[in-house]
Amino acid sequence: MSKETTYISQNEILRVEKLTVDFPGKQVATRVLSDVDISIRKGEILGLVGASGSGKSVLARCFLRLESPAKIISGSIFMAGENLMMKSQREMQKIRGKNISLVPQNSLGAFDPLFTVGNQFQEVIAAHKDLFFNEGAGRKRRKKNFREKIYDFLGAVGISAPQSRSLLYPHQWSAGMRQRALIAMALCLSPNVLILDEVVSALDPTICLHLLDLILRIRERYGTSILFISHDMDVIHEICDRVAVMHSGRIVEEARVREIFNQPLHPYARSLVSGVL
């Protein structure tokens, strides 16, 4: 895992401007994010750190305009020259998965417990089947191809014997494998931006290392831009190119990893870094 590779270029792939988000309440709304500006550049891994409750996951969901229970009050999200705020939820469904993918935090909660992992994977492909198959292919033929595609993707993230494993239910998988399967599901549509929400925080260190290695290899192979959300500064130091520090709903500092670890400017960033070194 060399840190010297420079993937940073100036062209941005996703930019958020002045995003303000509230949790609507009965009497008063709670402000979760206020005036957040953040941009993800092409092919970089951007780390997003902050304490729990600082609004990291809400921001991640807002990138995909998954707004419940939060509500976007103002601001704009630009992707490839388009403002995603102008789109309807129906149009967003096409963009989710295809252009931006989110890997949620709780891997067991993210799967439906009543369906096998293979079936749920198939659902992803079926929802975007125009990306995979020509219109001409017969239905039966397609179903068989589904399976093969799934095995390929699961194999690519290092899951051995995907044929038998995909017939198991999510609770029968180990946590590390579930997390890898979720990443495979997010990757199968080859999105430009991948949002990873606390993917390694619940794992053993050895499994965590394996997963971080996988994430770096994904970036190398597909050139995906990754937003990596974590509260663990050690992990951020290991794989990210740039870091944005979030504190009570605001981005308080944004810098390259080396700069933030050597000379953090904001007091909160300083306290985070001093906890590590």
Partner 1 sequence: MAAESIPLLEICDLGVQFPTKKGALLRRGFFYAVRKASLIVMSGETMCLIGESGSGKTSLARAILGFYPFQEGKMFFQGKQIKHCGDSEHRRLRSKAQMVFQDPIASLDPFFTIAESIEEPLIASRIIKEKRSDRVKELAERMGLSPTLLKRYPSQLSGGENQRACLARALATRPEFLIMDEPLSALDAPMRGEIGKLLFELREEYSLTYFMITHDLPSVKESASTVAVMYLGRIVELAPVSTFFSSACHPYSAALLSSVLRPGFWPGKRIILEGDPPSPMESPQGCAFHVRCHRKTAICERIEPQTKVVGTGHTVACHLV
Closest approach of partner 1 to the CB of residue 22, in Å: 24
Residue 228: burial class (beta carbons within 10 Å; 0-12, 13-18, 19+): buried
Q: Which is nearer to partner 1, 220 or 234 (CB)?
A: 234
Please give the helix or strand (H or E) that residue 256 lies within, else none: strand 250-256
Cα–Cα distance, 66 to 72 (Å, whole number)? 10
Q: Which is nearer to partner 1, 1 or 108 (CB)?
A: 1
Closest approach of partner 1 to the CB of residue 109, in Å: 16
Q: Which is nearer to partner 1, 207 or 252 (CB)?
A: 207
Place of tokens 């014997």: 161
Closest approach of partner 1 to the CB of residue 195, in Å: 21
Closest approach of partner 1 to the CB of residue 213, in Å: 5
Q: Which is nearer to partner 1, 22 or 238 (CB)?
A: 238
Closest approach of partner 1 to the CB of residue 262, in Å: 11
Q: Which is nearer to partner 1, 43 or 176 (CB)?
A: 176
Peptide bond into 69 cis (omega under 30): yes
Residues that bind partner 1 (CB under 8 A): 1, 51-52, 158, 160, 174-177, 204-210, 212-213, 231-235, 237-238, 261, 275-277
CA distances in angstroms from 236 to 64, 181, 227, listed in the order given: 23, 22, 11
